């Protein structure tokens, strides 16, 4: 069995070899006050004491953080003064911990007063150094988190990744609970931007529990964290759970909560899920109530969602919708979905021009609908069943569950229909239907996946073939049409 600390010693020894590339053992021995034979033993396998590490830092200017954990520049002269000071304090902390480790706790008795005093002094030194490290790292941690949030708001994910790694390093030295909670929130936000809902859900669940107030049962901050938990569940197609959390959070917020901006954001998420689950009128009514309380990115998402609902509700034509407000990629995605549903060249061309315009502001940077619409337009211009089956330019939107996989199947099925390949569309419909039937009750496929799936059944199957599938499709369109989806209502009576 490997002796505890062996791997750590080997890592320090490797960095000691790095120092010996520029200095001899005798020079290191002379400057650190260590016998040459001792330096030779450290180089060739003996355990490296903290006192020797401290001497390397004091006499040779070695960065203790680099020496101990391999992070940062090798020498203090290569580091900003504030960071170097943190490194020196970290080395002092390690020396204090080593002093504690050397105490023979198993042999302590009433007659060992000197050992107890030494242990007490080491523990007190440890606490003082932890306090000093916390005080010095707090402003640095706060600045890194501020820069991380700015990068995330700009959707600069590469910069955000670097800043997140830096924040993780500083967080080890800082005991500030508020900053730790902010770091957790920004990590969850980063996973949301990276479209990793599973990791976001893990972080957001922890954050929501940490945000619950000690006095009141629920407050504005807890309301915002509940909303982010709803977003994570929505990204994973777990809409029934997301709806339940929305309803519970609204009840917990009560009448006082209606004045919170976080409550307006929660209402926005609730309205989006109502639409996604087929309740257009209810979602639109709720959205109109919360729009005045939204600002920034949330206002843009809300405005895009309002146009989406009005388009599917038959209250607005696509050309008019594209003239309203500032262009964003959130609106573009909604316009592309409506254009795809029409299956006509002119709407597709107009929606693609809108999505590809240089002045479109990024809100969530999705590429699936733009690629899908471009492929659909190509099929309308030149029917090619082989190209439709391949759909090589369209990025997959597949996840590990049936609810997410249905959208990819429905998209390819739609392309095959446009290309006139009924046989290929039938095969994909059967796969899509198997996914729909196997979908767990706590998962909800994307509404476009359901709409395309059921419309395909109406187009492919007559009274004598898969009658149940056609009847089920008409029931779906009748139900959604009665809840406000005017674009779907006419399909309910198709024979």
Report how far residue 431's alpha carbon sits from residue 488's, in angstroms, rounded to the nearest whole number.
23
Note whether residue 377 is domain-resident.
yes
Q: Phi then psi for 484, rounded to 5 degrees?
A: 120, -10
- Number of domains making up the chain: 1
Does residue 321 sit within a domain?
no
Of 96, 98, 95, 91, give the one whose Cα is nearest residue 76. 91
- Does residue 373 fall inside a structural domain? yes
Q: Would you say residue 281 lies in a domain? A: no
Spatial CA neighbour of 43 closest among 6, 74, 17: 17
Q: Are 84 and 63 in contact (CB under 8 A)?
A: yes
Which pLDDT tens digit goes with each residue over 371-430?
Answer: 899 989 988 888 776 666 655 344 444 334 455 678 888 888 898 888 888 888 888 899
Q: For residues 473 and 286, give the distance between their C-alpha atoms in angstroms, rounded to a whole number.
A: 28
Q: Please, are residues 343 and 418 in contact by the beta-carbon 8 Å criterion?
A: yes
Residue 16: inside a domain: no
Residue 489, in any domain of the structure? yes
**85/336: higher pLDDT:** 336
The reported pLDDT for the residue numbered 399 is 38
Across 107-111, 144-148, 202-206, which has the greatest mean pLDDT? 144-148
Looking at the predicted structure, is the pLDDT value of residue 263 above 80? Answer: yes
Q: What is the mean pLDDT of residues 178-192?
A: 86
User: What range does the domain containing 347 cover?
Assistant: 326-493
Tell me which H or E stretch contains 420: none
In a domain, 221, yes or no: no
Percent of the chain with pLDDT over 90: 29
Q: Is residue 82 part of a domain?
A: no
């Amino acid at each position: 069995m490997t002796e505890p600390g062996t791997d750590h010693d080997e890592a320090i020894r490797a960095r000691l070899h790095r120092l010996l590339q520029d200095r001899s053992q005798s020079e290191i021995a002379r400057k650190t006050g260590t016998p040459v034979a001792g330096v030779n033993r450290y180089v060739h396998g003996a355990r490296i004491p903290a006192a020797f590490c401290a001497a390397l830092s004091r006499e040779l200017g070695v960065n203790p953080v680099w020496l101990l954990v391999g992070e940062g520049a090798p020498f203090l002269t290569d580091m900003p003064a504030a960071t170097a000071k943190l490194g020196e304090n970290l080395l002092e902390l390690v020396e204090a911990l080593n002093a504690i480790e050397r105490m023979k706790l198993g042999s302590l008795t009433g007659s060992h007063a000197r050992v107890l005093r030494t242990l007490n002094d080491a523990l007190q030194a440890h606490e003082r150094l932890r306090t000093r490290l916390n005080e010095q790292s707090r402003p640095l941690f706060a600045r890194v988190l501020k820069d991380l949030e700015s990068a995330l708001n700009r959707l600069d994910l590469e910069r955000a990744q670097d800043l997140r790694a830096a924040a993780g390093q500083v967080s080890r030295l800082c005991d500030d609970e508020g900053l730790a909670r902010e770091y957790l929130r920004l990590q969850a936000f980063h996973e949301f931007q990276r479209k990793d809902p599973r990791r976001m859900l893990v972080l957001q669940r922890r954050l929501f529990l940490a945000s619950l107030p000690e006095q009141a049962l629920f407050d504005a901050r807890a309301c915002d964290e509940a909303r982010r938990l709803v977003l994570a569940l929505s990204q994973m197609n777990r809409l029934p759970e997301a709806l339940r959390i929305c309803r519970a959070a609204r009840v917990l917020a009560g009448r006082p909560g209606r004045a919170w901006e976080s409550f307006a954001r929660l209402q926005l998420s609730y309205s989006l899920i109502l639409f996604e689950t087929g309740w257009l009128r209810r979602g639109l009514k709720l959205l109109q109530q919360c729009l005045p309380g939204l600002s920034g990115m949330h206002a843009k998402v809300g405005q895009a969602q309002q146009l989406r609902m009005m388009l599917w509700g038959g209250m607005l034509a696509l050309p008019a919708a594209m003239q309203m407000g500032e262009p964003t990629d959130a609106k573009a995605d909604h316009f592309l979905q409506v254009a795809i549903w029409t299956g006509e060249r002119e709407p597709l061309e107009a929606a693609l021009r809108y999505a590809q315009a240089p002045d479109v502001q990024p809100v969530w940077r999705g590429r699936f609908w733009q690629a899908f619409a471009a492929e659909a337009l190509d099929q309308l211009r030149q029917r090619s069943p082989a190209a439709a089956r391949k759909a090589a330019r369209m990025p997959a939107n597949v996840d590990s569950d049936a609810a997410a996989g249905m959208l990819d199947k429905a998209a390819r099925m739609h392309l095959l229909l446009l290309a006139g390949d009924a046989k290929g569309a039938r095969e994909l419909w059967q796969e899509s239907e198997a996914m729909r039937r196997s979908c767990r009750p706590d998962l909800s496929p994307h509404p476009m996946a359901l709409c395309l799936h059921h419309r395909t059944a109406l187009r492919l199957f007559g009274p004598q073939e898969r009658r149940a599938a056609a009847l089920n499709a008409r029931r779906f369109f009748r139900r959604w049409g009665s809840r406000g989806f005017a674009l779907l209502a006419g399909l309910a009576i198709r024979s």
